[in-house]
Amino acid sequence: MSAGGFPTRPPKKVADQASLLQIESFIEMMAAERGSSLNTLEAYRRDLLDFADFALTKSSNALEADTDLVRAYLQKVQRAGYATSTSARRLSSLKQFYKFLFSEGRRPDSPCDSLQGPKQTRPLPRVLSEDEVDQLLEVARARQFNDPSPGHVRFTALLEVLYASGLRVTELVSLPLSAVTGDPRLLFVKGKGGRERLVPVSDNARMALSVYLTVRDHFLEKAGVENSLFLFPSRGKAGHLTRLRVSQLLDELAIEAGIDPRRVSPHVLRHAFASHLLNHGADLRSVQQMLGHADISTTQIYTHILEERLLSLVRSGHPLSPDKKSDKDNQA
């Protein structure tokens, strides 16, 4: 970590200090003015340092790069076999960086203005069925009932809240203790870009949190601290439970529940929360607010899941569907 609290990476090469300094200035601006998350800042830094390293191999530098150099870099990324989304993200990082340099008067133009990213087909998010989520919850509850250890109690609370609220896993593990003061029916969450929102908490989730609070001191002791501002304290550097640990615990639960762990993740439960709500009649705008999406177009991806499901039902159940007609022809 740097003095400002931003993640840092030692440069591969130190010859181009001017570019490295401007990259750090850009990162600080994105943190201070845009409120970008640490994960987003690290992604920007990683992309820009990779381009700066590439520029050095071409006897140039990131500050003086022209359109041909940026195009050559994107072609190199494509030849390396990276996903289309990676190429698009790296171009976006460069566009943001050069827009910053232009606004600061450090460049007269942007070498990215005439470049367009690769066309992307947005994949539908992976979603578990309601029965599968129920299966996960039932196994977690049964495990806690049979062995009410602090670890099982904490994980049940995490799982209940993840599915009941649609929180991003980063938002969940970094929740402050104050978020659950007074047995709330709504959680106050600070999400991406510093945007704040209220999310509902189901009765089951509230009950699981209430039980967890009775064993929370166990994790304070493990962390070697007397107090913590976090709801889920841990001895790690961040002071709270990590995203990776939640994913590991969820993988273990999926295996125990007889579900392929590759189909299960904290973000898949967020997708399940949204798609199941819409499937039961929730309106898109409400789901957008609960998920914390800045743009409703991001939320609309879940309507495509419902459309695919309806089409599947028509194909399998309508008397004039190709499958049904084929069955009739075979019977004849």
Active site positions, annotated:
168, 192, 267, 270, 293, 302
- Cα separation values, 114 from 68, 106, 110, Å: 11, 19, 9
3-state secondary structure of 84: helix
CA distance 124 to 109: 37
Q: How far is CA 144 from CA 127, 138, 202, in A?
A: 25, 10, 19
Token look-up 């359109």 returns: 67
For 13, 50, 81, 94, 118, the CA distances from 77, given in Å and listed in that order, are 20, 10, 7, 13, 12
What number of other Cβ atoms are within 10 A of residue 178's Cβ? 11
